[in-house]
Each structure stands twice: as C-alpha cells, then as structure tokens.
Amino acid sequence: MGKKIQFSLVYRDMWQSSGKFQPRKDQLERIAPVIIDMGCFSRVETNGGAFEQVQLLAGENPNEAVRAFCKPFNEAGIKTHMLDRGLNALRMYPVPDDVRALMYKVKHAQGVDIPRIFDGLNDIRNIAPSIKWAKEAGMTPQGTLCITTSPVHTLEYYSELADKEIEAGAEEICLKDMAGIGQPAFLGKLTKMIKDKHPEIIIEYHGHSGPGLSMASILEVCKNGADIIDTAIEPLSWGKVHPDVISVQSMLKHAGFEVPEINMDAYMKARALTQEFIDEWLGYFINPGNKMMSSLLLGCGLPGGMMGSMMSDLGGIRGTINNLRKKKGEPELSVDDMLVKLFNEVAYVWPRVGYPPLVTPFSQYVKNISLMNLLSLEQGKGRYVYMDDSMWGMILGKSGKVPGELAPEIVELAKAQGREFTDADPHTLLTPALEDFKKEMDENGWDYGQDNEELWELAMHPEQYRNYKSGQAKKNMLADLQKAKDAKLGAKVSVEEAIAFKHAKADAIVAPVKGQIFWEFQGEGEAAPAVEPFIGKEYKEGEAFCYICTSWGEFEMIPAAMGGQLVEINAHQGAKVRKGDVIAYIQRKED
C-alpha cells in the first residue's frame, strides 16, 4: 500500500465560492453529524474569511454558529480549521495587533484547531506574527503559500517562503491554489522541495476547480509527498469550488495510495441536506455561473471564491457602460462580452501592479482596478482613473511588498498625485483598538461574551456587528431574500415574508456598508462624471438606485427597495456614508 492521504472537507469555502451566505447555525448543527458519519474526513473547515461577516449580515451570531459547528467534530476527534488572512485577519482590510492576537484565543476557545494563515502578497511580515499568536493560544499554525503563475513566482520563491514560515513556527504548510491555475508539474516539484528539506512538515493542498487543473494537481502533489487534500461534496463541488471527494478518493486509490473509504449512505444524506439548504434560501444567492468551469480563468487567474461578487459587480457596471455605448450609437455588450473584456483587462493590469497573488483582498483590488478601467476607457479617460485608497494601499506598500516591479506608468501616476511609497512593516502602521471597542461595549451595555468573543466580533467587524445588534441586518437579509424570491419565482411566497420586507425597508434607502456614494455615470467622453437623480423620479421595485464604493474597493449596487417616488436625498455624489446611514427616502405608492 502506498502513502496515506487524508481528506479535508472545505464546507465553509464550498458556500463561499458559490454564493453570498453560509448555512445558519441550526443547519450547520444538522449537517455536522452526517459529515462525521461519512467516515472519510480527518479535517473540516468550520470558520474563517467571509463566514463571520456573512453570518452577521444574515442577522445571526457567528460565534454561536462556530461553537455549534465545531463541537461535534471536536468530540469525534476530527480536526477543525479556519481561513486567516494574516494582516487582515477575517476581514478585507488591515487589523490592529491587539485584535489579531485576541482572535486566536477566541477561536481556540470556540473549538477551532488550525488557522490557515495566508497573506495575499506572501509577505512573511504579515504571516509571522499570526503564527506566534496562534501557537501562544494553543492552536496549530498552518503557514500558507498563495499559488499563482507568473515570472516572479518561481519554485525558489515559494521554497524560500516555506522556509521562512517554518522558521517562524508554522507546523504545517498549505499550498493554497485559490484560482486553480497552479500548474500540476510545478506544484509537484514544489511539494517535493519542501518535503525533502522538511520531512516532518505536513503539507495540505487546496485547489479550486475553475480552470480544470485541480485533479491533475492533486495527483502530482500526492506523488511528491502531500499529506492532506481539500475536497468538496455535491451539490457544491466542481465549478468554481473544489473537486468532489468521491472522484479524488477514486483517483488516488487506483494510483496506489492509502485513502479512507466513504460511507455512501452518509454522503447521500449530506448531499441531500446541502441541497435542502440551497432550496430553502441559500440558493437564491448562488449565481448559476459559479457551477461552471472555464478555461478562461487560466489567463486572468481570478480565484473561485470571488466569482459571486465579481459577477454582481460586472452586471452593475455593464448597465452603465451600455448606456454610454448607446449614446454613442455603439452596440451593447453582453455579459459574455464584458466577462472577456474584464479577464483581458485583469491580464493587462496584473503585471503592471507587481503580480500580487490574486487572493483576497488583492484579487478584489486588481479586479476592481480592471473593472473601473473598462468604464473609464469607455468614457475616453484612459486607465487608473477610479482607484480608491485601498487599491493604492496595495501599490504603495501599505499592505506589504508586491512581489514584482511596478510599471513606470503606475509609479509616475502615484508621484503626480502626491502619494508616497513605504517599505515599513505593515502591522506597525496600525494603532491598538481594543480599548476603544471596550468603551463602546460598555456604553451600549453589551456583554463581552464568553471568552471575550463578542468584544472581538465588534472589533473585527464593527459595521456588520452594530447592524446585527440593532436588528437591521436581519431585516435587510429578509428584504434581500424576498427580492431574490420574487425575481426567481415571479411571486411573493408568503404574506408574512412580504410584511417583513415592507417593515425592513420602510421608506428609507439605507447604506448596507460603509463607503462612498456614486450615482449612475451619465457622461460620455469627458462629460460630467455623474448626475444625481431629480426629486420626484420614479423607481421600480429592486431597480438600481446608486452605488457604494466600499473601503475594500468593491462597488455595491443599492436597490430602490420597493420602488416609488424619490422625495429626499440625504447623501450626495462622493459623500462618505456609514453602514446604516440613510441615503435617501422613497415614497411608496399605495397598494
């Protein structure tokens, strides 16, 4: 019998790579025992990345959900792991040291065993402190190599990074092939290089299926010493997600590896439960395109985990671009046309901003630069017109050092705008924040929670947590769900949900995120950039009202709720709003 290979189920990432939300606490409690009964997983991903934020957005306490999900795995001796964005911890922008250090204490107490610590720039300065804090909290730190294919991302580059992470205390190494564009032969050689030098280190491979290389990559890394493979289960496997455990197990078994057997009765039950969660509500937020694989991803290298948000952004900007093209007498662009244009623009921009590995948040930054370039090019303004501070922060070195050289045009533009580059250690640029959040908790009479988990939640996701505590998050989610159901089913599904929707939105258009207001771009060429709507303008239910550019560079479309007549504008073009601020009021027509 050949080398023993273990499997991990990335149940969190399955949902993250498919749609907007995660299963509720009660659903996670139902699926956990069935996953255990499958008998083939030594590990399960139970937390990390967007899990916390989207649970808050759904009006649910993520701390309770994580504890409930981890408990049965802890009792069964199955390791639990989480995704950790290093300097950004569990959000899209940098986190102060005191908040990051507290995270590991909280997560260990909640039952999470292993943090998968990665940095979007592969900067060891953003990874090493997290390894230290994780070890101090009693966790098993897993250092991560964010895999991409570029002239600067060589075998030696990654091997040296693995050495640095292990020297910092990492007990495991993950090859995080977030876009699935890692070449199988390259990954096999890299695995062997690490294993030959560090035979005691566990190597785990995480590869998305998007461009279709992942199965070949799995075979190559296993032949060269990998120990654990991340897998998925139907109905969320493949597409932009991960290979299904059945296929992975079959391939490796026939290749001579020792692999665990799968309890197919339990697999089918887990499959049915997951489909039930999709049918009940989660499927309304899943883009069907995320079930598709595409070789086009090889060219742009965008990861599977951001496909949902990308398609949403693409749809919003497409309408603006087509309005411009219509005024110029040019044919409209289809979604496919836009997708190809975006992928081509990413391929153009990526090397010019220094080849940052396309993983959160830098995949979003590069995508957003490219997306807004499509708009500014259509307007005749050239590239790099609509770049916010987050995008510039990546370029200037505030989040770490980009692996490659910046293009002269980018450097010149930065100097022309009076922007300064830095080589400072990114975490030293942040000031401690916990004491301020303690004051806020005290003033509101909020409990710090078991093991300070509620204090940590506020400090990690302040805007989302406040909205959760006020109850607005739950109302917004009900509104979004009702809108999605109406769009797909063409009818309201229940009187109760319809009433909840009306009560949630009332007459106020509320900012769901912190950011900057942008109205629909109206100009062509060098014309005025945007025109605010006039008082009295009529909107249809769910129609785009405005856009908010978030602090992490994403453009979120704000719908006109249930529609009606615009009666007041509270936030004008370019205004900065906080989450929960009222942007405008729309007077609904009488039913």
- Is residue 476 within 8 A of residue 552, CB to CB? The reply is no
HEC per residue, 285-348: HECHHHHCCCCCHHHHCCCHHHHHHHHHHHHHHHHHHHHHHHHCCCCCCCHHHHHHHHHHHHHH
Q: Give me the pLDDT at residue 568, please.
A: 76
Lowest mean per-residue pLDDT among 81-95, 172-186, 195-209, 364-378: 364-378
* Residue 293 to residue 207: CA distance in whole angstroms: 13
pLDDT in tens, 292-334: 888 877 876 766 555 555 666 676 678 778 888 888 899 999 8
> Can you give the pTM of this predicted structure?
0.80
pLDDT in tens, 176-218: 999 899 999 999 999 999 999 999 999 999 999 999 999 999 9
Task: Domains for the chain: give ranges and CATH numbers.
Answer: 1-82+256-291 (no CATH), 292-429 (no CATH), 506-587 (2.40.50.100)
The terminus-to-terminus CA distance of the chain in angstroms comes to 71
- Is residue 263 within 8 A of residue 230, CB to CB? The reply is no
Helices (H), 168-281: 184-197, 214-223, 245-254, 264-280
Q: How many helices (H) and strands (E) does the chain have?
A: 22, 16
Q: Give me the pLDDT at residue 551, please.
A: 63
Lowest mean per-residue pLDDT among 60-64, 115-119, 441-445, 531-535: 531-535
* Residue 225 to residue 193: CA distance in whole angstroms: 10
Mean model confidence pLDDT for the chain? 87
Q: Give me the pLDDT at residue 520, please.
A: 58
- Is residue 417 within 8 A of residue 387, CB to CB? The reply is no
pLDDT in tens, 9-49: 999 999 988 888 899 999 999 999 999 999 999 999 999 87
* Residue 484 to residue 486: CA distance in whole angstroms: 5
% the chain with pLDDT above 70: 89
Angstrom distances, CA of residue 28 to CA of 67, 111, 273, 345? 10, 14, 10, 39
Highest mean pLDDT among 55-59, 178-182, 246-250, 490-494: 246-250
- Is residue 545 within 8 A of residue 584, CB to CB? The reply is yes
**Average pLDDT in the 567-575 region?**
76
